[in-house]
Amino acid sequence: MRITVNGKLGKGVLPKDVALYIIAQITASGATGYFVEYAGEVFENMTMEGRMTVCNMSIESAPAAV
């Protein structure tokens, strides 16, 4: 699953906000069964720390099987 976000983040919008928005759009289990690839200007312009924040939060959209 490729998620592309273009544009610039508004003042005060953090990588965590981007991740939470994506999760809200695809639902909490929307990435189950997929590899997720992030692309676009927003991710290109993030710091490495910001990118890692998004990646670490990705697990929230693909819960483990019980």
| pLDDT tens digit sequence for 3-14 | 999 999 999 999
CATH 3.40.190.10 fits 2-61, yes or no: no
| pLDDT tens digit sequence for 43-59 | 999 999 999 999 999 88
Q: Is the pTM of this model over 0.85?
A: no
> What is the C-alpha to C-alpha distance for residues 40 and 52, in angstroms, rounded to an integer?
15
**Helix pair angle (15-26, 48-57), 10° resolution:** 30
The separation between the first and the last C-alpha atoms of the chain, rounded to the nearest angstrom, is 23
